[in-house]
Chain A
Amino acid sequence: MEKVMVKGTEAIGEAAIRAGCRHFFGYPITPQSELPEYMSKRLPEVGGVFLQTESEVATVNMLYGAACTGTRVMTSTSSPGFSLMMEGVSYMACAQLPAVFVNVVRGGPGLGDIQPAQGDYWQATKGGGHGDYKLIVLAPSTVQEAVDLTVLAFDLADKYRTPALILADGLLGQMMEPVEFPEFRDLETLPDHSSWALTGANGRKPHIVTSFDIDPYVLEKMNLELVEKYKEIEKNEVRWEEFKTEDAEIIITAFGTVGRIAKSVVEMARKDGLKIGLFRPITVWPFPYKPLEELAEKVEMFFDVEMNMGQMLEDVRLAVKDKKPIAFYSRMGGVVPTPNEIYEALKKEIGRRVK
């Protein structure tokens, strides 16, 4: 298929449609409004429904309702908007509903700003809403990967009956790169949800989709079912990328946009003869603890780089344990670190330790 130049946000939208998504609910917020805008134009062309809601709270509840029917549904938002959706996300996780959320993260906390950031990592991977639940969280670093992971998000959400989240950021959302889109999915071939979906109970026993039970013993059973499911996801769906790690002495850990910027740092360092590699989690939940732990046996040191105060750093520590030192560099507030700046920080860190 021919390559086209598209913005990250629009690429995610088109990928969703090709994956069979026909329902989008959303409320505009920078830096992702191009995604609902794109869907508002494209969905009617393919017989789908686009609905601009009155708020993010309405969005997530419409998504909840539509997902109950077993159809592929999606919304996108940016940080403060995703916070508003948290209650509904928790409900959907408990009700075991497949849906795809996109958070094009911007500077925070609070109203923050509209520039790229990664401060929503904890919210995405450690809960965010109330109760015991997890989201499948995919963190693309290029526009092509955003396309591929959007399709994957729908498939995983369906396979495990759970909400999935694309954790992007303003930079990935706004930049353009050539991409190749997958073919349109035949809607007839999408997973069959007839065993649980609310499709009209005429002639059969009614289905119940709920996140509630007044009896603690019944609710605990629902909890245990979720626990089993999350274990299954942790077993099967861990994804990551390694770049020049074979002979590396120092490993940079970074996800999303910073993950690709760090690739340039690796190239710069290799030119200077430094053996640096990159470990980039693609699923930030389930986090690739095991492969990272295995690297800890081989390398001297880790250098974690993020656009937040050190959120994924906690997962890196859980993986590396006390085996090797972990240094950290970050920018926040919507400031994107440049390759040179990261490299200088890395060299300083090496110098400090060699002394």
Chain B
Amino acid sequence: MRFIFAGFGGQGVMLMGQILAYAGMIEGKNVTWMPSYGPEMRGGTANCTVVVSDDQVASPVVDKAEVVVAMNIPSMLKFQDYITENGYFFLNKSVIDREPDRKDDVKIYKIQCNEIADELGNLKVANMVMLGAVIGATNIVSKESVFKALEKKLTGKKSELIEINKKAIEEGIRKAREQ
């Protein structure tokens, strides 16, 4: 399964992809994570491509993706045509206040990532709310693997943040399964 995560620099789209790839690896799958890189650290658009597969991953570069996650409007516009038929289109409803052009042949999930994160007490976990929604809808990896990936990734001082990130993931899963 191919994923594109896209948003503003600073929205945590790179980490979303990394946690998913890490969780895939924990489950023994073949994974690649490929970032867009360049002068896009804050304010610009950033994206990463993740491939999770039972087979060896040949190309980390994709023309099409089964899943596109757009955290802002430019990303929605840029990547909507990448989605395969009957693929998944995740939109951060907190930021995206309009409809995508691509909607008839894809499964759309609109998630209020920012509000949910804010209620949990930290706006920064909006990305993990979205990641939760992605795994809740696609079941590509288990929640437990994502938790393990978080524990691997958030070490040292950042380990204080593991709990709230886990809550965000759980909330995201719940929201996706409600839709």
Q: Is the CB of A341 within 8 A of B63?
A: yes
B8 at the interface (CB under 8 A from A): no
Chain A CB count within 10 A is highest, among B18, B34, B37, B57, for B37
Interface contact A177-B62, CB-CB below 8 Å = no
- Interface positions, chain B 20-57, Cβ under 8 Å from A, are 21-22, 25, 30-35, 37-38, 57
> Contact mask A314-355 → B, CB, 8 Å, 1/0?
000000000000000000000011111100000000000000
Are A261 and B59 in contact (CB-based, < 8 A)?
yes
Smallest CB-CB separation from A3: which chain B residue?
Answer: B25
Q: Which of B89-133 contact A (CB under 8 A)?
A: none
Within the complex, which residue of B30, B61, B63 is in contact with A171, where a contact is CB–CB below 8 Å? B61
Known: A114-B38, A171-B34, A340-B64. A178 touches B59 (CB 8 A): no
Residues in B neighbouring A337, C-beta threshold 8 A: 61
B60 within 8 A of A: yes
Q: How far is B60's CA from A178's CA once the two chains are assembled, in angstroms?
A: 13
* CA gap between A115 and B25 in the complex, in Å: 27
Using CB atoms, name the residue of chain A closest to B22. A5
**Is A263's CB within 8 Å of the partner chain B?**
yes
**Chain A residues within an 8 Å CB radius of B59:** 260-261, 263-264, 338-339
**How far does the alpha carbon of A30 sit from the alpha carbon of B59 in the complex, in Å?**
23
Give chain A interface residues in 1-54, CB to chain B under 8 Å: 3, 5, 30-31
B58 near A338: Cβ-Cβ < 8 Å: no
Residue from B18, B30, B35, B60 with most neighbouring chain A CB atoms (10 Å): B60
Asked if A5 meets B18 with Cβ closer than 8 Å, knowing A171-B34, A177-B32, the reply is: yes
Docked-complex contact B25 and A178, CB < 8 angstroms: yes
| A115 engages B34 (CB within 8 Å) | no
CB distance from A185 to the nearest CB of B (A): 26
B33 touches A5 (CB 8 A): yes
User: Is A224 part of the binding interface, using a Cβ–Cβ cutoff of 8 Å?
Assistant: no
A176 touches B (CB below 8 Å): yes
Question: A90 CA to B35 CA in the complex, in Å?
Answer: 35
Contact check: which of B22, B30, B34, B63 meets A339 at CB < 8 Å?
B63
Contacts of A177 in B (CB 8 A): 31-33, 57
Interface residues of A in 141-196 (CB under 8 A from B): 170-171, 174-178
- Inter-chain CA distance A5–B57, complex, in Å, is 14
Specify which chain A residues have a CB less than 8 angstroms from the CB of B18 in the assembled complex.
Answer: 5, 176
- Does any Cβ of B come within 8 Å of A87's Cβ? no
Inter-chain contact B60/A267, CB cutoff 8 Å: no
The answer to whether A175 and B35 have CB atoms under 8 Å apart is yes
CA distance in complex: A351, B129 (Å): 49
B31 and A174 form a contact (CB under 8 A):
no
Residues of A within 8 A of B35 (CB): 174-175
Chain A residue at minimal CB-CB distance from B56: A263
CA distance A5 to B22 in the complex (A): 7
CB distance from A283 to the nearest CB of B (A): 21
Residues of B within 8 A of A267 (CB): 58
Q: Are B33 and A175 in contact (CB under 8 A)?
A: yes
Chain A residue numbers with a CB within 8 Å of B64 are 340
A260-B58 in contact (CB<8A): yes
Q: Which single residue of chain A is at the shortest CB-CB distance from B149?
A: A5
A175 touches B60 (CB 8 A): yes
CB distance from B1 to the nearest CB of A (A): 15
Interfacial chain A residues near B61, Cβ < 8 Å: 171, 261, 336-339
A174 and B25: CB pair below 8 A? no
Give the 4 A-B residue pairs with the shortest CB-CB distance, closest first: A263-B58, A264-B59, A264-B58, A340-B63
Q: Which residues of B are in contact with A by a Cβ distance under 8 Å?
A: 18, 21-22, 25, 30-35, 37-38, 57-64
Q: Which residues of A contact B (CB under 8 A)?
A: 3, 5, 30-31, 114-115, 170-171, 174-178, 260-264, 266-267, 336-341
Q: Mind listing 18 A-B residue pairs with CB under 8 Å? A: A5-B18, A5-B25, A114-B37, A171-B60, A171-B61, A174-B35, A175-B32, A175-B33, A177-B31, A178-B25, A260-B60, A261-B58, A261-B60, A336-B61, A338-B63, A339-B58, A339-B63, A340-B63
